[in-house]
Chain A
Amino acid sequence: MIKTWELDPNFKEEIMNERGGEHLTACFQCSTCTIGCPITEYVPSYNPRKIIQMSLLGMRKEVLSNPDLWVCLICQTCTARCPQDVQISDLLGAIRRIAEKEAEAGNIKIDSSRPIFDKAFQHQLEKYGRLYDIGLAKEYYPKREGSFFKGMMAMMKDYKDFGMRMFKKGKMGPKAMFPEKVKDLAVMKKIFGEMGEK
């Protein structure tokens, strides 16, 4: 049972003020997005339509701490088909960013390593202007696992075979051990400084 007076009626505006979330209220709950979403086959609880409905009703807490937010593939199938141009893919991104901020503020706990990964990825860009795979892994795994040691173990597990395979094929030569840097790094700092999450 949902008691609407206990919910946050401003949640929809909060989402709509976040970039990508602008079209939230256009949704008419038609199920197109959910039916076509490839993730539902693997995560049966996953339902973007329902996430939108909960958001519209103002179920802020439930939405932001929903672990399903983090399995979206950003594959755009839903966005391409939505009859109301809700741009669900971007919309979910907006909700995820609100969730990240809330988690940083300690208000909720996110049950997914995806925010850690995304952050780590962005840090590479900020630092080097391009993706530095090893740097990314070195930041992501320890944070995900909670300690440097455990992180290194996890990384080894994922990368042992893969790394060798890539190395043998000449795709992870010594060159890849070091970051490929953009020369104008100052501009990268500025971009993240001004456009990034405040």
Chain B
Amino acid sequence: MGIAVIGGGVAGITAALDLANSGYKVYLVEKNAELGGKMAELSECQMGLSPYIAKVSNHPNIELMLSSELESLSGSAGNFKLKASGKEIDAESVVLAPGYDVFDEIAKSYGFGSPDVVPSLDFEGILKTVTAGDSGKLVRPSDGKQVKRIGFIKCVGSRCQENEICSTACCAYTAKEVWDIKERFPDIDVYVFYMDVRVFGKDEELVADLKDKYGVHYIRSRTPEVIPEGDTLTVKFENLEKGTIDKLKLDMVVLAVGLQPSKTLGRLAEITGVNTDKYGYIETGITSPIETSVPGIFACGTATAPMKVRESVGLASGAALKAAVLSQRTEPIPGQEDRKYIEVGDAPPKIGVIICDCEGEVGQTVDIPAVAERVKGVKGVELVNSETKTMKEAMSAIEGGIVDEGLNRIVFAGCSPREYEDVVRDACANAGLNPYLLEFVNLREQCAWVHDKAEATDVAGNTLRMAIERAKYLDEIPIVRYPVTPKALVIGGGVSGMTAALGIADTGYEVYLVENEPELGGGLRDFTELQSGEKASDVLTGLVDKVKSNERITVYTNAKEEDVRGRAGSFKARIVGDGTDEEIEFGACVIATGAREFVPEGYLGYGSDNKVVTLSEFRKAGKSDAGTIAFVQDMGPNEGVVNSKSTSIEVVDSALKVKEKNPDANVFVLYQDIKTYGKWEAIYKDAREKGVIFLRYDKKKQPEFSNGILSVFDVIFNDEVQIKPDQIVLSTPMMPADANERLSKMFNIPLKNGFFMEAQERPKMVLTPVDTINEGVFICGSAVYPAMIDECIAMSTAAASRANVLLAKNFLETPAVSAVVDDLICVGCGVCVDVCPVEAIALTEETVPVVTFGVATVVGGLKKVAKVGDGCIGCGSCASYCPSSAMSLKYFKDKQLYAQLDYAF
């Protein structure tokens, strides 16, 4: 059967790909005519997403159903019957990813209606054209005048009566939009009107930079009024410091509109029977963030709560895993079939040139027939096909050419290699041609999109000619396959590690779970109760029992991993602990080392005054008899530490619980920003309503505690407020696990502030939140960034899914494009050793024979030579640094590049 994925936004796409790539049949149902959802509308994200869309569109295991909507669903887990736009689908499980809609009931008081007041999604479109176009100016939509002063108003349609919760993404995307503007146009004055800046991790640093380095004015005021007058917009705001209502004249205003459940969600919930919560999102739980109320139906992305791309795809991968566990693998995994390659050797080049119109993108500016004319008859060119319009057509042209015409080199010219290089190489390989006998020319971004007609055609002809010259010198690169060890190593036995281990075991693989403490459980052992009211110990015992009783999981406690070797699919390591020293082999690894609380020694007297405790100490104690209690959030060093995403939630929840148990207590929360993102906004409201008093302080004026008096300068009150607390509870930043340094070196994964970094770092989004630059090694939970338990569970399920995609394969190929050293020329200087980012090169002593070059004789003997190891990722750094040109990269050999350049000059 297969799995039905409903919704083709970034979440649906991610889930579909994870499943299809691990051998499941996927039906992807999207109501629009195109894939991509909202992300395709965002200024920078579209480019990041398109390779994924390309893969989905050409995937043999995905049946794409565009412009179709789910009409009915019956049956149960393992045996669902769905109907979408008249077509029947049988599926074992279902993934719902119908996404969100933006808030659209914008009040007129925001000046909405004036063309210069734009909602953020429209502004993303404006940014897109500013980036793409050559005008390079940000102009007012009304009159085309250059923008000099721009304002951003946050929380429009969020945290209000119409949409009670926080939309989570808008604080961060506003920061990104502001950064975009300031990077490009440093002279534009930018004002941001906000209540709380709800950004986390790296975005926190970004906002700090925006304020301090870029001079962006962050103004704490939820302004309801933008008055269009003549050609300016007047924004009114409360100047808290001066106690006045001030007016600011701006040229343009962006409304950071909130996210709401997709308008289709109600009907989808009706059809599928899944419960929705009181805000209209699909209901999930804090310890089951992917499961809906219907077994076999899983949910991901913004259909479950407002969130950013990173979290959406995390849940999506997680949903893929959950769906996979209920389903049968029925499909072959692309690239795993047996392949025989034609031997080319020294045979004269028979080049096939395929020029593809890329669905009109190329042909709109490039005169394709003219370009084809230019290359016809060039020496070595056997075939020129300029008729193909889509990638599908191009692929069959390539395969046909190789099989029927005996082509031995392919030059493909069409859209971007970023999107299609893999696909085209696969087409070659499928037809039996070594995939490195392919040369790829980008006629879209490099010709069609950047030049006018005549120029584009000329440039296209030239690049194609150059490519043909290079193609003549391409060599076969041996494709080396090695078997995948179908086992995984999971490092860390907290909630995340255990969840990942169970996920991987559920898909059928063996898992080694290593924990350096004597017991499983990690940080959750310190909690009494979760925010949902669930007992932490219940959750934990449940997990530990499942792990321990799972036949496929071997648990090592009091142990650690050492001496890691190998590459994705085939790693080796030693597990060393009390009485054990075992060599293990595994194909994938998940790092889940968690985080720990910073000890705030000396802050507000912590350590010397027993009135002052940390939040985890407070939560562990489980109760408090203090008559007056002050929670202090965001205290501690600002540099080099990471605040947990859960900080405010924990603080507000704890404060609320004190008030609930003892309504007479005076409960204060001292904070810089209350970051109860998403649905957690509800507990913030609850805490206020129950009488918790919130006092806002500024980073520059931290609270002080002496002689029993806690003083805080409340920036909203603009006055100092003093409290005589019986207890002070400090919430402090989080520190990375001690093991991270060691693991970072062992696995070659960079750290940021001590936490692991994900593979893809684009300013606007993280599309692979659990992948690292070391293929086969995944990260999850608080080891990446400290977060709430639901997010940790989602991330670790995602890591299990990514591991599953890898382990499902029988074999992998060693990277073909790797460095080779010419022993004879290498002088052993070691420059390459230093520049290699993955430490793949070592200097070895080797005996070289006596060699004569004409009259000169080079005396042989013992000398140092660079040796490229297995780890090489083919980045080319060594080749470009090597002073004696001893190092080169397969596929980028000098003769190939010179041939290409020779034509140009």
> Which of A32-40, A89-97, A100-108 lies on the face that meets chain B?
A32-40
Question: Can you list 26 A-B contacts (CB < 8 A)?
Answer: A1-B721, A1-B722, A2-B719, A2-B722, A5-B628, A5-B724, A12-B691, A25-B690, A28-B684, A30-B195, A30-B221, A31-B220, A31-B221, A31-B238, A32-B222, A35-B236, A35-B245, A36-B109, A36-B224, A57-B693, A57-B721, A83-B155, A83-B160, A83-B161, A83-B222, A84-B160
A29 B721 Cβ-Cβ under 8 A: no
Q: Taking the complex as formed, is B574 at the interface, i.e. its CB lies under 8 A from any CB of chain A?
A: no
Task: State how many angstroms separate the Cβ of B318 from the closest Cβ of chain A.
Answer: 33
Q: Taking the complex as formed, is A3 at the interface, i.e. its CB lies under 8 A from any CB of chain B?
A: yes
Task: State how many angstroms separate the Cβ of B631 from the closest Cβ of chain A.
Answer: 15
A27 B688 Cβ-Cβ under 8 A: yes
Q: A28-B195, A31-B223, A35-B221 are in contact. Are A47 and B717 (CB under 8 A)?
A: no
> Could you mark each residue 696-737 of chain B with 1 if its beta carbon is under 8 Å from any beta carbon of chain A, else 0?
100000000000000000001101111110000000000000
Q: Which of B225, B238, B689, B716 has the most C-beta atoms of chain A within 10 angstroms of its own C-beta?
A: B238
Closest chain A residue to B163, Cβ basis:
A83
Task: State how many angstroms separate the Cβ of B701 from the closest Cβ of chain A.
Answer: 14
Q: Taking the complex as formed, is A122 at the interface, i.e. its CB lies under 8 A from any CB of chain B?
A: no
CA of A84 to CA of B158 in the docked complex: distance in angstroms? 11
Q: A29-B716, A81-B109, A85-B161 are in contact. Are A4 and B224 (CB under 8 A)?
A: no
- Taking A28-B688, A31-B223, A53-B717 as known contacts, 6 extra A-B pairs with beta carbons closer than 8 A to each other, sorted by chain A number, are A2-B722, A4-B721, A13-B691, A44-B244, A47-B243, A82-B161
> Contact check: which of A2, A29, A49 meets B720 at CB < 8 Å?
A2
Count of chain B residues with a beta carbon within 8 Å of a chain A beta carbon:
40
Interface residues of B in 503-560 (CB under 8 A from A): none
> Contact check: which of A31, A56, A85 meets B222 at CB < 8 Å?
A31
Task: State how many angstroms separate the Cβ of A82 from the closest Cβ of chain B.
Answer: 8
A35 B223 Cβ-Cβ under 8 A: yes
Count of chain A residues with a beta carbon within 8 Å of a chain B beta carbon:
34
CA of A120 to CA of B109 in the docked complex: distance in angstroms? 37
> Contact check: which of A1, A35, A83 meets B719 at CB < 8 Å?
A1
B688 A26 Cβ-Cβ under 8 A: yes
A36 / chain B contacts, CB cutoff of 8 Å = 109, 224-225, 236
Q: Taking the complex as formed, is A115 at the interface, i.e. its CB lies under 8 A from any CB of chain B?
A: no
A1 / chain B contacts, CB cutoff of 8 Å = 719-722
Task: State how many angstroms separate the Cβ of A41 from the closest Cβ of chain B.
Answer: 8
Pairs A-B, 4 closest by C-beta atoms: A83-B160, A30-B222, A31-B238, A1-B720
B716 / chain A contacts, CB cutoff of 8 Å = 29, 53
> Contact check: which of B109, B225, B245, B691 meets A25 at CB < 8 Å?
B691
Q: A2-B717, A31-B222 are in contact. Are A84 and B685 (CB under 8 A)?
A: yes
Q: Across the A-B interface, how many residue pairs have beta carbons closer than 8 Å?
A: 95
A34 / chain B contacts, CB cutoff of 8 Å = 238, 245
Closest chain A residue to B221, Cβ basis:
A31
Q: Taking the complex as formed, is B159 at the interface, i.e. its CB lies under 8 A from any CB of chain A?
A: yes
B693 / chain A contacts, CB cutoff of 8 Å = 56-57
Task: State how many angstroms separate the Cβ of B685 from the closest Cβ of chain A.
Answer: 6
Q: Taking the complex as formed, is A142 at the interface, i.e. its CB lies under 8 A from any CB of chain B?
A: no
B723 / chain A contacts, CB cutoff of 8 Å = 4-5
Task: State how many angstroms separate the Cβ of A75 from the closest Cβ of chain B.
Answer: 14
Q: Which of A26, A32, A41, A57 has the most C-beta atoms of chain B within 10 angstroms of its own C-beta?
A: A32
CA of A57 to CA of B719 in the docked complex: distance in angstroms? 13
CA of A40 to CA of B109 in the docked complex: distance in angstroms? 17
A32 B224 Cβ-Cβ under 8 A: yes
CA of A36 to CA of B719 in the docked complex: distance in angstroms? 23
Task: State how many angstroms separate the Cβ of B876 from the closest Cβ of chain A.
Answer: 54
Q: Which of A12, A27, A49, A83 has the most C-beta atoms of chain B within 10 angstroms of its own C-beta?
A: A83
> Contact check: which of B107, B237, B690, B722 meets A31 at CB < 8 Å?
B237
Q: A1-B720, A2-B720, A28-B195 are in contact. Are A35 and B237 (CB under 8 A)?
A: yes
CA of A1 to CA of B717 in the docked complex: distance in angstroms? 10
Q: Taking the complex as formed, is A135 at the interface, i.e. its CB lies under 8 A from any CB of chain B?
A: no
B22 / chain A contacts, CB cutoff of 8 Å = none
Q: Taking the complex as formed, is A9 at the interface, i.e. its CB lies under 8 A from any CB of chain B?
A: yes
CA of A6 to CA of B688 in the docked complex: distance in angstroms? 21
B722 A4 Cβ-Cβ under 8 A: yes
CA of A64 to CA of B109 in the docked complex: distance in angstroms? 32
CA of A15 to CA of B716 in the docked complex: distance in angstroms? 22
CA of A26 to CA of B716 in the docked complex: distance in angstroms? 16
Q: Taking the complex as formed, is B666 at the interface, i.e. its CB lies under 8 A from any CB of chain A?
A: yes
Task: State how many angstroms separate the Cβ of A178 from the closest Cβ of chain B.
Answer: 45
> Could you mark each residue 724-765 of chain B with 1 if its beta carbon is under 8 Å from any beta carbon of chain A, else 0?
100000000000000000000000000000000000000000
CA of A28 to CA of B222 in the docked complex: distance in angstroms? 10
> Contact check: which of B155, B160, B238, B694 meets A49 at CB < 8 Å?
B238
B688 / chain A contacts, CB cutoff of 8 Å = 25-28
B224 A35 Cβ-Cβ under 8 A: yes
> Could you mark each residue 175-196 of chain A with 1 if its beta carbon is under 8 Å from any beta carbon of chain B, else 0?
0000000000000000000000
CA of A9 to CA of B155 in the docked complex: distance in angstroms? 31
Q: Which of B109, B224, B243, B668 has the most C-beta atoms of chain A within 10 angstroms of its own C-beta?
A: B224
Task: State how many angstroms separate the Cβ of A183 from the closest Cβ of chain B.
Answer: 43
CA of A130 to CA of B236 in the docked complex: distance in angstroms? 41
A5 / chain B contacts, CB cutoff of 8 Å = 628, 722-724
B689 / chain A contacts, CB cutoff of 8 Å = 25-26
Task: State how many angstroms separate the Cβ of B697 from the closest Cβ of chain A.
Answer: 13
Q: Which of A4, A34, A44 has the most C-beta atoms of chain B within 10 angstroms of its own C-beta?
A: A4
